[in-house]
Amino acid sequence: MVFTVRGSLPEIIRNDEKLYEGDLIPYFRVVFHNAQNLQNPYHNFRHIFHVVWLCYQACLFYRDRIPPHYMRNLLIAAIFHDFNHPGLMGDDDLNIARAVRGLRKYILSQDVPHVGQIEWLIKTTEYPYKTETSSLQLESQIIRDADMGQSLAMAWIQQVIFGLAGEWGKPPIDILKSQIGFLKNLKFYTDWGQNMFPQSEINAKIKEVEELIKLLE
């Protein structure tokens, strides 16, 4: 299947392609004006909306399989999945609780009937995972794949290496070295994820990390 990524952030938020139900303008405003973590080293605005962007790409990929209101639930979950993340190392269940609390506070009346499904999608991003990804429904697999996608983004050194080093209080070289094991175990479960992030790209990133470590030693 040939798949081309598309959609700027404004186009996605406005739903210019009429892909999902309604638009995400009110939720974008909520995050932009109210989220307290937008300038965190890693769990920041870039990470949140990179996950939204990737989930949108997945919706395009599965546009004949996922109903528009399910797409909306997925994209709302992506917007809130790290809402008010403190940017500190610790139990992720507390971070998920903050995200769910933000969702409940700002959810629109039209989405209240689906709040349980949206909350579940947020909760499936808790890491380390408590449920095998292969056992989850497609939308949960998508948001997990999207959440891992920043590992292969162009700005991964700044976002992942220095970002996590800042949040975890560790030297960036330690985070860089830890990427070898992480990337070797990185697996995308959906057809979309494997199309978007083929194994060849993961292998190339592992080689890049190994070369960077050698340059720094």
pLDDT mean by block of 10 residues, the chain; 217 residues:
83 98 98 98 97 98 97 98 95 96 98 98 95 96 97 94 97 98 97 97 98 97
Q: Is there a domain that residue 85 lies in? A: yes
Enter the pTM of the model: 0.96
Domain-embedded: residue 3 = no
Whether residue 91 is contained in a domain is answered as yes
Q: Who contacts 56 (Cβ-Cβ below 8 Å, separation ≥6)?
A: 7, 12, 19, 75
Provide the pLDDT for residue 214: 98
Flag whether 1 is in a domain. Answer: no
Q: Is residue 178 part of a domain?
A: yes
Q: Is residue 2 part of a domain?
A: no
Q: Which residues span the domain enclosing 108?
A: 9-216
User: For residue 4, is it within any domain?
Assistant: no
Look at residue 2 in the predicted model and tell me its pLDDT. Answer: 58
**Residue 30 domain-assigned (yes or no):** yes
Work out how many domains the chain is built from and give that number: 1
Q: What CATH number corresponds to the domain at position 18?
A: 1.10.1300.10
